[in-house]
Amino acid sequence: MKIEHEQLYQEMMAAIAAKSKQLNKTDLVESCFWIASKHWELLKKNIDNEFFEDEKREIEFFRTIKPKFTSQIQYYTMLAEVLLFVPEGHEEQIIYWKDELKRYWRFCEKNKVFVEYYESKAVYLDSIYFVKVSEEWLPPYQALSYDADVNFCSTHDHLVRGLLAHKMYHSFVQEKLSLVKNEI
């Protein structure tokens, strides 16, 4: 890769952190989404043609590198969605945030086999899960804009992205629920 992916990731996270100090929540979510999207596009542009010729590097890309960027996009998408529907009343907010806590567990239950594989740091299926798909591959789900390019997709990288995004989201919801419960 032309630019070190870790450097680009650190730049993205620094830009997100800087925005979070300046804007209100709605603006923050939108700004952070666009920062993450921009850095994902920069990462794709900076990958050499030969990068995917080494299976070990290819697996690392889909298992570790890509999800660091795309999970941020998914996380801020989830936040934008949830913040639109927060009810007004205090008791309703407690119920709302408690229900949102279940989202992470539903994701983990739905993808239990993969989550257990990934979280155990197993590698025996990596050469199946985390290699670039063929040009003819059709995803079993509606491809999101950041997964639409088959040159940057594996069959399971969306699950890693989803797991990481759901973990961040779960922490956010726990914090929101705690704040609402502590309000008088």
Is 90 exceeded by the pLDDT of residue 86? yes
In 3D space, the residue among 105, 104, 47, 45 whose CA is nearest the CA of residue 74 turns out to be 104
Q: What value does the mean pLDDT take over residues 82-96?
A: 93
Predicted local confidence at residue 1, as pLDDT: 47
User: pTM (2 decimals)?
Assistant: 0.90
Is 90 exceeded by the pLDDT of residue 177? yes
Higher-pLDDT residue of 175 and 21 is: 175
CA angle 69, 74, 78 (to 5 degrees): 150
Q: What value does the mean pLDDT take over residues 86-113?
A: 95
Q: Are 133 and 157 in contact (CB under 8 A)?
A: no
- As a whole number, the mean pLDDT across the chain is 88
Start-to-end CA distance of the chain, whole Å, equals 53
Higher-pLDDT residue of 150 and 15 is: 15
Q: What value does the mean pLDDT take over residues 19-27?
A: 72
